[in-house]
Structure 1
Amino acid sequence: MLKKPSSPQTALEIVTLDSLVPADHLLRKIDAVIDFTFIHDLVAGLYCPDNGRPPLDPTLMFKALFLGYLFGIRSERQLVREIEVNVAYRWFLALKLTDAVFDASTLSQNRRRRYQDSTVAQAIFDRIVEQAIAHGLVDGTVLYTDSTHLKAN
């Protein structure tokens, strides 16, 4: 008798997130040499320590925005969708497969309200680039540009 195979997507498997990200993945190289712990000290003055809702961890937020810049994801909504499905992004952000991903509006509201009038965001990305240069991840000798012409809508 011909049986319909069971769906492999519902099978229970035991894996680690670490085992799902290739050893030579770019995010592993970045994670090995870039220290993001300085972010909390830079943004401490922008958060109230004893009032309001618990915030999105600023390190998580800036690492997510870093992913968007690094991989050319221009929309915050698209970035959140990519984080939901990309195992390497989840690994980099220290999110488990079962963790809910923050809402895209959380990123945009923080960017527009909390960081709009400060130079903190620029200082964070400058420090990341400085670390990347110091560890040889960036050297500035090659510049790629895209000169694709798109017709305006």
Structure 2
Amino acid sequence: IDFSFIIEKVKPYYSENKGRPSLDPLILFKMMFIGYLYGIRSERQLEKEIYYNMAYRWFLGLNINDPVPHHSTISWNRRTRFKDTTIFQDIFDEIVLQAINHDMVGGRVLFTDSTHLKANANKHKYTRRTIEQDTQNYIKDLNEAIQEDREEHGKKPLTIKEEVKAEKEIRHSTTDPESGYLYR
């Protein structure tokens, strides 16, 4: 995957002649990509993982002695510079498109888990419930980690912006409540 397209996509969000030199956008977005792919839900933890993992350093183009970008830099860019933009979705879409063009994604093969489960086949033995589903769980988890860190260090909490929530209807088994939810 050629990540160089990121530079052009984020160019409108950076100033070439104001302030101190910024973190290379390629590194920033690759760091967030690592966090997303490996389920690292804390920017502080992401910084530590990159510090110790040579494969991550290689992917980011960092040598063993290069400093790892600070977690607050990732957070500030995500919450301020790219707030209310579609830049993350645009970059993700471009990466998927490149993967498709390189025959890395094609939809020709389907892998499934063949674990045997007891069927919940009685259609009359369930209740309907409406649950709230957060549309941006990853971003929410990052914000929670920031709040916890600020509390631990005696800092006042950041102002929380209200996020859009989606509701989803589910069917919950009344005969086997341990079986979980059937999403619809």
Amino acid paired to 2:78: R
Equivalent runs, 1:33-52 vs 2, <5 Å: 34-52=1-19
The one of 33, 40, 43 equivalent to 1:66 is 33
Cα distance in 2 for partners of 1:87, 1:131 equals 25
Instruction: State the Cα RMSD in Å.
Output: 1.7
- The structure that is helix-richer by fraction is 1
Deviates more, 1:70-79 or 1:38-47: 70-79
Report % sequence identity. 54
What is the match of residue 82 of structure 1? 49
Unaligned runs of 5+ in 2: 114-179
User: Matches of 1:129 and 1:117 in 2, distance apart?
Assistant: 22
AA aligned opposite 1:103? H
Aligned with 1:84: secondary structure? Answer: helix
1:96 to 1:137, Cα distance in 2 relative to 1, 3 A: same
Q: C-alpha distance in 2, partners of 1:43/1:134?
A: 23
Structure 1 CA distance for aligned equivalents of residues 10 and 103 of structure 2: 27
Determine if the alignment matches structure 1 residue 97 to structure 2 residue 97.
no
Q: In structure 2, how many angstroms separate the alpha carbons of the residues matched to 1:78 and 1:89?
A: 13
- TM normalised by structure 2 equals 0.57
The number of equivalent residue pairs is 112
Q: Distance in 2 between matches of 1:75 and 1:119?
A: 21
Q: Larger RCO: Structure 1 or Structure 2 (Cα < 8 Å, ≥ 6 residues apart)? A: 1
Q: CA deviation at 1:120?
A: 1.4
Larger radius of gyration: 2
SS of equivalent to 2:29:
helix
Moved over 4 A (4+): none
Distance 1:77 1:139 in 2: 35
Matched with 2:79 is 112
Taking a change above 3 Å as real, the CA distance of residues 96 and 57 of structure 1, as seen in their structure-2 partners, is: same
1:136, distance to aligned residue in structure 2 (A):
2.8
Question: 1:57-78: per-residue Cα shift (whole Å, max 9, x none)?
Answer: 1111001111111112121111
| SS of residue matched to 1:109 | helix
1:57 lines up with 2:30 in the alignment = no
- 1:117 aligned counterpart, secondary structure: coil
Q: Which has the higher strand share?
A: 2
Gaps of 5+ in 1: 1-33
